[in-house]
Amino acid sequence: MWYFYSPNIIYGEDALNFLENIPGDKCFIVTDKVMEELGYLKILTDKLEKYGKQYNVYNEILPNPRETHVAEAREMCNSYTPDLILALGGGSVMDAAKMVWCFYEFPELSLDDIHPFRPDLHNMGKKAKLVAIPTTSGTGAETTYAAIISKFENDIWKKFLYAHKGIVPTYAIVDPIFPVGMPSNLTADTGFDALAHAIEGMGSEWRNEFSDALGVKAIELVFKYLPIAIKEGKNMEARDYMHQAATMAGLAFGNGNVHIGHGMGHSLGAIFHIPHGRAVGVVLSYVTQFCLNNPDEKDKSIEIYAKLAKQLGWANWDEDNKKAAFTVIEKIKELQKEVGIPNKIQDLGISREDFDKNLDMLITLCYEDATIGMVPRSVNPEIFKNLFTYAYDGKNIDF
């Protein structure tokens, strides 16, 4: 037995109009200041007013949401008693909103009470439904049952994963009206987040037929439409397909998980404050190569990525599997170059001195990340040290 969890997904131009059909008149909006400044909050509230729905707004969520923000929003939500919670923003907002929803439904819980094994959280949605409205095309958080929240421990804000199938949003409204305004660097960062979800997801130990199917399609769409979305930001077709790709990749990794690329990316983000998509994008080719170099003959990474390369026309069907699989690495590098994602950590503006000084902490943080357990090869600190160092220098993984 395994699971495939998904929200009800409404996508494409004018998807936001579906709000009219969702029962509930009292809405609590979780968002951030940027959404307000960009006018996105107004787009949403105009719709709500048109449909006769009341609303209250919490707009203090910051990137890498902290437990303190969740606590503030929780208090406000619980006193407002909404019947709809709307998350408008990127992954940080949607993750925070999942926790706010959870604490609204179960006020007696705290963050550390949320884990995948408790049965009561399957009973979410008694007081309110959660509607996730992503404004970037990458995070996939509108589809997943996990939230990353930072807690202050040992003098550093550490990112922790809180997960339960019950916190999958009730609805995901995937309307390209929002990402169409993204600047090109954010488009590239978030696009590579989606790509990392799909590519790592296909190699994860928890991969399954459902996640694979969505992962392949997401990869195809990212390779086709990310360069267009960057060159022609207002191209609605490219924006729409990239938005769909991110949601598909979210479903892929939400149900099959990601692995050490995300562990390493979270570490880079926590220490050097690198945007998440760029951090996982930089290390993607290295962790994929690490998987392809697995000496275990039973490992399926070569077979999986060879099939991907053949399905996408990057290799002929009669091509040797190993050779075909390695075209995936080359394709990642080509796309990085085309859309401006660095291929080595040093190009993120991190000096050698800073990198060396923080290398041990980067590794320590990887071990606190639940995703690393999904990689098909055993890892240890020496391997992480080499992965980070090779990725810093831009060397091919030869171990």
Partner 1 sequence: MTKIKILSEEWVEAFGKAINANPNYKPSALTWEGDMLLLIEPSGKLDHEVRIFIGLYHGECTGTRLLKEGEEVDTPYILSGPYDNFVRVMNKEFDPIQGVMSGKLKLSGDMAKLMRHVQAAKEIVNSLLTFETEFL
The binding site for partner 1 (CB under 8 A) comprises: 1-3, 112-118, 160-161, 163, 205-206, 367-368, 370, 372-374, 378-381
Q: Minimum distance between the CB of residue 383 and partner 1, rounded to whole angstroms?
A: 9
Contacts of 353 (CB under 8 A, 6+ apart): none
Q: Minimum distance between the CB of residue 150 and partner 1, rounded to whole angstroms?
A: 14
In angstroms, the first-to-last Cα distance of the chain is: 35
Give CA separation, 17 vs 29, 50, 97, in Å.
Answer: 16, 10, 21
Q: Minimum distance between the CB of residue 111 and partner 1, rounded to whole angstroms?
A: 8
Closer to partner 1 by CB, 94 or 374: give it: 374
**How many other C-beta atoms lie within 10 A of the C-beta of residue 382?**
10
Closer to partner 1 by CB, 49 or 303: give it: 303
Burial of 352 (0-12, 13-18, 19+ CB in 10 A): exposed
Helix (H) or strand (E) holding 129: strand 129-134
List the beta bridge partners of residue 88.
133
Give CA–CA dist 227/231, Å, rounded. Answer: 6
SS3 assignment, position 255: helix
Residue with tokens 């990749």: 249
Give CA–CA dist 73/50, Å, rounded. Answer: 25
Closer to partner 1 by CB, 229 or 374: give it: 374
Q: Minimum distance between the CB of residue 165 and partner 1, rounded to whole angstroms?
A: 9
Burial of 89 (0-12, 13-18, 19+ CB in 10 A): buried
Phi/psi of residue 163, each to 5°? -140, 140
Q: Minimum distance between the CB of residue 262 and partner 1, rounded to whole angstroms?
A: 13
Contacts of 8 (CB under 8 A, 6+ apart): 170, 171, 172
Closer to partner 1 by CB, 104 or 145: give it: 145
Closer to partner 1 by CB, 108 or 318: give it: 108
Closer to partner 1 by CB, 48 or 374: give it: 374
Q: Minimum distance between the CB of residue 163 and partner 1, rounded to whole angstroms?
A: 7
Closer to partner 1 by CB, 127 or 151: give it: 151
Q: Minimum distance between the CB of residue 116 and partner 1, rounded to whole angstroms?
A: 6
Closer to partner 1 by CB, 259 or 331: give it: 259
Q: Minimum distance between the CB of residue 235 and partner 1, rounded to whole angstroms?
A: 41
